[in-house]
Amino acid sequence: MSPRPVAWKTRRDMDDELQEIYDELVRRNPGQEEFHQAVREVFDSLHPVIDHHPEFLRDGLIQRLLEPERQLMFRVPWADDDGEVHVNRGFRVEFNSALGPYKGGLRFHPSVDLGIMKFLAFEQTLKNALTGMPLGGAKGGSDFDPRGRSEAEVMRFCQSYMTELYRHLGEHTDVPAGDIGVGTRELGFLFGQYKRITNRYESGVLTGKGVGWGGAHVRSEATGYGAVFFLAEMLAVDQQSLDGRVCLVSGSGNVALHAIDKLQQLGARVVACSDSDGVAHDPDGIDIELLRRIKQVERGRVADYVDERDSATLEPAGSIWQLECDVAMPCATQNELDDDDATALVDHGCTAVVEGANMPTTAKGIDVLQKAGVAFAPGKAANCGGVATSALEMQQNASRDSWSFTHTEARLAEIMARVHQECRETAQECGANDDYVVGANVAGFQRVAAAMHAMGLI
């Protein structure tokens, strides 16, 4: 494609142009508020990139980057243990493959709809780019609610879901992993069905597999551990450490459990965790082994933890950010920390917020935290250790190799240090010192945009 001359643009022109693109996005994707929110946050960071690369405003590059390459929606019929038939909706949004095969988790939760899938797939695209690994971006899932379902029901649902999805997957095409409601058990059922239908033992088609059947050490731990490594890097900038820090971690699923574990390994005291029914407040520090048993073995609730732990009390759902802390890590779901929560955190002396979940802090919440000087790490940067370790799992599958826990954890720590450094340096280049939101958005965006630009009109 022959390059067209670059029109000279003022900042005002660029503001107007980005605003027009955003307005068009809202118009063409009605009701998808989380998707609008995720795009707005990125646009608010983009001026410095457009200043240096006016070509990104040509050839519709930004508009192309905002439109998923492919959006799949399909019927998932299954029968419960009483023989009653249910019909759920399955999704896979293959957002961008400029840097590698589509990559991103599957979420099973009743709140799942196309807008949530698109926000997650868009975030995933920039996050995966930020890792520096050869990964495109995607997200998938279903509005299926695994809560209260028997193991046999979950298996039948996973088999039905994969019976449609398998035709779109492949180790060089699209590689899902877990997310909310999808852990090693569900990935086992999904992988088993893929293997049956295709008659191929294609390990690299899914990540987050069990260690005994193609999974990588540290993949389960990676998102939570990685977020804590990122936090440790942030503190180290001011010659501080996690030792003795009081922390709040929302959620009690995969990301939260491993964040709590690593925080405590590094000397912090985590005094609360949660689920959608309540908050376990434990001033003595969460007993991670007890919590792990209740959540992972018994599939229980934080209320069960409080029942078994004398030092803990059960507080109302959503009240976790009202507690005192030095560090807060939202690790449950999107928009779980709003401006009122942020104000409470600031008033109670919180100095750092690190997102383990995807977009858990509202735009107003981020604004309150940043204006108060709280160090803030967006999920795009802080939780990218999960997908980065998925890329390590794909490497091991491709070479039919298996690395030790210690080696893989060291690789994860290196990756998080590199991502932290890149976010800082990019923010500085943009004149936005210490703003990890700008650093993460710009660094991720530049990598995807440059690849798309090089590949012509894709």
Residues binding ligand NDP (CB under 6 A): 105, 178-181, 223, 251-256, 275-277, 331-333, 356-358, 383, 386
**Residue corresponding to tokens 């959006």:** 71
Smallest gap from Cβ 194 to ligand NDP, in A, equals 19
Rounded Cα distance, 30 and 363, in Å: 19
| Residue 181 or 365 having the CB closest to ligand NDP | 181
- Compute the CA torsion angle 260, 182, 219, 159 (nearest 10 deg): 160
As given in the structure block, the two tokens for residue 292 are 């792990």
Nearest to 256 by CA among 214, 220, 283: 220
Q: 3-state DSSP call for residue 196?
A: helix
Residue 295 bears catalytic tag: no
Q: Which two tokens stand for residue 450?
A: 């440059």
Helix or strand holding residue 73 (H, E): strand 70-79
d(CA 433, CA 365): 20
Looking at beta carbons, which residue is closest to ligand NDP? 253
| Shortest spacing between CB 256 and ligand NDP, in angstroms | 6
Residue closer to ligand NDP, measured from CB, 48 or 210: 210
Active-site hit among 139, 262, 295, 380: 139
Residue 143, SS3 per DSSP:
coil
Which residue, 82 or 298, has its beta carbon nearer to ligand NDP? 298
Is 8 in contact with 14 (CB distance < 8 Å)?
no
Which residue, 169 or 302, has its beta carbon nearer to ligand NDP?
302
Is 112 in contact with 75 (CB distance < 8 Å)? no
In the bound complex, what is the minimum distance in angstroms from residue 33's beta carbon to ligand NDP?
15
**CA separation for the pair 266, 179 (Å, rounded):** 25
Instruction: Supply the minimum distance, in Å, between the C-beta of residue 134 and ligand NDP.
Output: 18
Between 277 and 347, whose beta carbon lies closer to ligand NDP? Answer: 277
What's the closest the beta carbon of residue 358 comes to ligand NDP, in angstroms?
4
Just list the catalytic residues: 139
